[in-house]
Amino acid sequence: MTEQDPIAYPTIPEAEVQLRCNRCNKPITPATAILTETGYRCAECVRAQQRVFDTTNKLDPFLGFAVAALISFAGSWLSGMLGFFTILVAPGIGTLISNAVRLVVNRRRSKALNKAVLVGAIVGALPLLILAILPLLSGSGPLLTGGGNLMPLVWRVVYAALVSSSAYAQAKGMRL
Ligand SMILES: [Zn+2]
């Protein structure tokens, strides 16, 4: 089904079609459209999605958290040597986290698992980020002597933001 398929749903006049479900592309009216985290969807797709989103067992979110935290931590150690290239590498590590979690939980899915992956990715990036902040807090570190020395901390923050948002977006199923 494509946008260029005007006769697919002849029961809804063109003038009333203001929205299309962004999953099945079916025309939907404002009255029946449901705004989801990823855009407007029809009621059937939302119901289907909710079923898909609840297949995990109690242990899965903890596994997801642990895997995400471990990989994120390993990646944050790596990104300490990358500087600018953190921008290119961090989303890839997010992908790695998402794929690894998917394997570990045998492709089961739930919103709780997605949130656990998000939190895990952030938590994994924190230890080295905090290590980069500590000299600032003590007021005695070399970080205060020149703006250039702030960059390691900046890249840690960039890494934490990118790796967690990338892992979370892909955990939510925006890409397989
Ligand atoms: Zn739909």
Taking the whole predicted model, whether its pTM rises above 0.75 is answered as no
pLDDT at 125: 96
Q: Is the pLDDT of residue 172 over 80?
A: yes
Domain count, the chain: 2
**What confidence tens digit (pLDDT) does each residue in 69-83 have?**
999 999 999 887 888
- Tell me the pLDDT of the chain averaged across its residues: 83
The token duo for 100 is 């690894």
Separation of 172 CA from ligand 1 center, angstroms?
Answer: 17
Look at residue 8 and tell me if it is in a domain.
no
Is 171 within 8 Å of 114 (Cβ atoms)? yes
56/126: higher pLDDT: 126
pLDDT at 153: 87
Q: Which range among 9-23, 97-111, 145-159 shows the weakest confidence by mean pLDDT?
A: 9-23
Separation of 118 CA from ligand 1 center, angstroms?
Answer: 27
pLDDT at 19: 82
Residue 109 pLDDT grade (very low, low, confident, very high; cuts 50, 70, 90):
confident
Which of 22, 159, 164, 170 lies closest to 85, judged by CA?
159
Look at residue 24 and tell me if it is in a domain.
yes
Same domain, 44 and 87: no
Separation of 167 CA from ligand 1 center, angstroms?
Answer: 25
Separation of 2 CA from ligand 1 center, angstroms?
Answer: 13
Q: Is the pLDDT of residue 139 over 70?
A: no
Q: Is the pLDDT of residue 176 over 50?
A: no
Helices (H), the chain: 43-52, 60-79, 86-104, 111-138, 151-171
Look at residue 1 and tell me if it is in a domain.
no
Separation of 5 CA from ligand 1 center, angstroms?
Answer: 16
Which of 127, 112, 125 lies closest to 62, judged by CA?
112
Which of residues 36, 52, 68 is at a domain's end? 52
Separation of 31 CA from ligand 1 center, angstroms?
Answer: 14
Q: Find the domain containing 140 and state its range.
A: 60-171
The token duo for 10 is 């002849």
Same domain, 75 and 139: yes
**What confidence tens digit (pLDDT) does each residue in 10-68 have?**
565 555 556 889 889 988 888 888 888 888 899 888 888 776 667 888 999 999 999 99
Separation of 47 CA from ligand 1 center, angstroms?
Answer: 10
